[in-house]
Structure 1
């Protein structure tokens, strides 16, 4: 049986290539039916914000990659409640539906996966 993988994305979409790389890993793993989840933590929750205008920063829009996650079988999407609150984001207005987790639930989530990759 395939080992499960949790990808933790901690970088804002405009702060270098890490956000895109995390999404690429998730999409590739999903294409190969790898059991995986994706957690948006710290500034990574900004990836989920609606109405981003990356062109103003000469960046590519990650919205299409985010929308593709469920189509590639990546349906376990999580966000840190504390990170959302600190950054003024409301879970009801995010680009994708995510499970919002408190600190205790985050620890349990991380423990549930065989491998964890943080970008």
Structure 2
């Protein structure tokens, strides 16, 4: 059986290539039916915000990649509740449905996966 993988995305979509790389890893893993989940933490929760206009910052839009996650079998999507609150985001305003976790649930989530990649 394949080892499970949790991808933790901690960077805002406009803060370098890390956000795109995390999504690319998730999409590739999903294409190969790996058991994986994706956690948006710290500024990574900004990837989930609706109505972004990355072209103004000369960045590519990650919305299509985010919307493709469930089509590639990546349905275990999580966000840190503390990170959302600190950045003024609410779960009902996000581009994708995610399970919002508190600190205790975050620790349990990370322990549940065999491997963890943080970008």
Deviating above 4 A after TM superposition, structure 1's stretches of 4 or more consecutive aligned residues are none
Q: Distance in 2 between the 1:42 and 1:94 partners?
A: 15
How far has the Cα of 1:29 moved from its partner?
Answer: 0.1
For 2:90 and 2:111, how far apart are their aligned partners in 1? 26
* Residues 23-69 of structure 1: CA deviation (Å, up to 9, x unaligned): 00000000000000000000000000000000000000000000000
Task: Report whether the alignment pairs 1:58 with 2:58.
Answer: yes
Query: In structure 1, how many angstroms separate the alpha carbons of the residues matched to 2:19 and 2:95?
Result: 15
Structure 2 unmatched ranges of 5 or more: none
The count of corresponding residues between Structure 1 and Structure 2 is 119
TM-score (norm 1): 1.00
For the aligned residue pairs, the C-alpha RMSD in angstroms reads: 0.1
Q: TM-score under structure 2 normalisation?
A: 1.00
Please list every run of 5 or more consecutive structure 1 residues that lacks an aligned counterpart in the other structure: none
Offset of 1:106 from its aligned partner? 0.1
